[in-house]
Amino acid sequence: MDVLVPLPVALPLLAAAVLAAVGTFLPAWFGDLVAAVVSVAVTAIGVVLLTRTGRHDLVYWFGGWRPSHGVALGIAFDVDGAGAALGAVAGLLMAASVAFSWRYFDETGPLFHVLLLVFLGAVEGFALSGDLFNLFVFLELMTVAAIALTGYGDEPAPLQGALNFGIVNGFGAFFLLFGIGLLYGRTGALNLAQIGRSLAGGRADGLVLVGFLLVTAGFLVKAGVVPFHFWLADAYAVAPAPVCVLYSGVMSDLGLNAVAKVYWPVFSGPLAAHATALRAILVTLGVVSALLGGAMAFLQRDLKRMLAFVTIGQIGIGLVGIGLLTARSLAGTTLYVVSDGLVRGSLLLVVGVLIRRIRSCDELNARGGGLPVSGVLFAVGGLAIAGLPPVGSFFGRALIEDGATGGYRWLPVVLTAASILSGGALLRAAGRIYLGWGSDREPVLGEEQASPEQEEPAHPPRGSLVVMLASAAALLVVGVGMAAWPGLPGKAVTAAVRTIDRPAHAAEVLEGKPPPHERASAPAPSGTSIAAGLASAAGAVGLALLALFGGLEALARRPVLRLKALHSGIVTDYVTWLTAGIAALGAAFVLALR
């Protein structure tokens, strides 16, 4: 089984190299075929790896360079349940995106498929790596490919979005690399388990706190957590819809997963005495992201930009699960981001159908009455985002809410409000576009901003509608149907228990000792979480109807307009907010964790 571990990374990168060398001499369909076959193979391997991580991680040492006396000189892939799940989801999203893209674009060259495959290989490497510096390497490889995909072509808007993307994420990369340097200077190690062992003997001093701050901030920039989120909406608005699927469904989720992937094996020992303060900081960041993302989604008319803010809101809920620092909430985050990422990917493919068939993804102008199947998919996806029981993301949110003990029993109310805002925005758009409800004039939503994808083509719409809808439906069915997997919450909790047991995890990675934990069982969702899920769905429907038939004039207030104005699209503003955010987060760390 170990031989399968490096294949999810090797296959896409090798295929990308072959296409880059010979792609110009082959017909266009060959690139589609290679990308589709590789994506399906990576998905299948990811599922196999996931099934093999039930009792222990899969640790693969390249070149057979295993640790000696607890010292790791080689490079390792440490495949746990969360990493294998995200790797499988990335392959599935890529396969659906490639199938959807068949004849979707007016013109593509082999470089497009090369970039897709490089992106997939980097995502897989990031999800599976057990080495801190390799996390950085794969993260930057993924970012470079994503920037190129965002600006693919010669239109000014995508290039501007790619520039914003690159500059803001460049700062995030600097934070991450500087933090890695501090930790390496202190411990002389890059393997996550070995760094954790080196730091576990004492309390966190200033160097460790700064290293934790910089590494965490670098990952939060990638995830799009407030206040590091500004780049995300601009990138979504201009990138092609099939590319946005990869951003929303996996890239932001990986940034979130990396926070847990690094905190538990590396920092949970030295920061154990500060768990209460750290919990307050991370939960606060998550709650602010969830509420702001939902509120900004409700103020958008462009569907891709709306889904960008929905992503920010959902990532905020996932960060709350990590920030609670319990096995149950961590398991909830894993289930939540996997299911929700597939649903968001499906919604973005539906937006791609609108763009290709009616040349618009503007809520106030698009009329999709002739596309009933896409309307059903969009509405079901909106309800899933709202957290309607018993879809897959509901079980994840239920684990997060049920893990909110002590002074955090108010979290179900706040997360319900955030879900109502995000789900209400999507259901409002579905009612206006597919049913013709509501007015086509809502000044508070702003002026129409045409996407490069919406330009009038010189030929009839391309692409097979059946293939497009089938790709979107497949993602939606898997995302909402995760609840049908027997014992899935219990398996997620078992994996989370192994993750948070730092000494046992280090012994497994560095000494090959099997973990002592047996399978854990997850209790059924509590009455509170079920009530919260039903309230979220009902509230989202009610909010959407109120907005459609009552209008949005009441939102034309100065605080709302100022909130929208903050997201100006000016990269210098974004860098200013990023700098202020890292300074505020650093101040919180110093005051709370010293």
Give residue-wise pLDDT tens across range 181-198: 999 998 888 999 999 988
CA dist 545 and 238 (Å) reads: 29
Q: How far is CA 552 from CA 303, 505, 545, in A?
A: 17, 52, 11
Find tokens 């960041």 and name the residue. 285
| Helix (H) or strand (E) segment spanning residue 355 | helix 327-358
For helices 392-402 and 303-323, the axis angle rounded to 10 degrees is: 40
Place of tokens 């919990």: 279
Give the integer Cα–Cα distance in Å for 555 and 249: 30
Residue 72 amino acid letter: A
Question: According to the model, what pLDDT value does residue 457 have?
Answer: 47
Of the candidates 336, 345, 342, the one whose C-alpha atom is nearest the C-alpha of residue 395 is: 336
| pLDDT at residue 220, rounded to an integer | 92
DSSP string covering 151-198, please?
A: T-SS-HHHHHHHHHHHHHHHHHHHHHHHHHHHHHHHHS--BHHHHHHH
The answer to whether the CB of 72 falls within 8 A of the CB of 51 is no
Cα separations in angstroms, 315 against 288, 294, 486: 11, 11, 26
Which of 499-510 are b and which e, b meaning 16 or more Cβ less than 10 Å from the residue's Cβ? bbbbebbbbbbb
Which runs of consecutive H residues, i.e. helices, occur in 392-526?
Answer: 392-402, 411-434, 465-480, 488-500, 502-511
Distance of CA 16 to the CA centre of its chain: 24
Cβ(357)–Cβ(461) below 8 Å: yes
What pLDDT, on a 0 to 100 scale, did the predictor assign at position 565? 78
CB 385, CB 310: distance < 8 Å: yes
β-partners of residue 302 are 362
CB distance 220 to 259 below 8 Å: yes
Residues of the chain with pLDDT under 50: 455-460
pLDDT value, residue 555: 76
What is the three-class DSSP state of 585? helix
Which residues have C-beta within 8 Å of that of residue 54, sequence separation ≥ 6?
81, 491, 494, 519
Instruction: Give the separation between CA 83 and CA 250, rounded to whole angstroms.
Output: 11
Cα 555 from Cα 330, distance rounded (Å): 36
Rounded Cα gap, residues 296 and 319, in angstroms? 18
Give, rounded to a whole angstrom, the gap between the first and last alpha carbons of the chain.
Answer: 45
Boundaries of domain holding 387: 2-593
Sign for the CA dihedral angle at 238, 243, 245, 250 comes to negative
pTM, full prediction: 0.92
Q: Which pLDDT score, from 0 to 100, does residue 1 have?
A: 54
Q: Report how many domains make up the chain.
A: 1
For residue range 206-242, list pLDDT tens digits in order. 888 899 999 999 999 988 898 888 888 888 777 888 8
Judge contact between 316 and 225, C-beta under 8 A: yes
β-strands 58-61, 76-79 pairing: antiparallel
DSSP symbols for 486-512: TTHHHHHHHHHHHHH-HHHHHHHHHH-
- Element containing residue 3 per DSSP (H, E): none
What is the rounded distance in angstroms from the CA atom of residue 61 to the CA atom of residue 72? 10
The single-letter DSSP state of residue 302 is B
CA angle 386, 408, 329 (to 5 degrees): 60
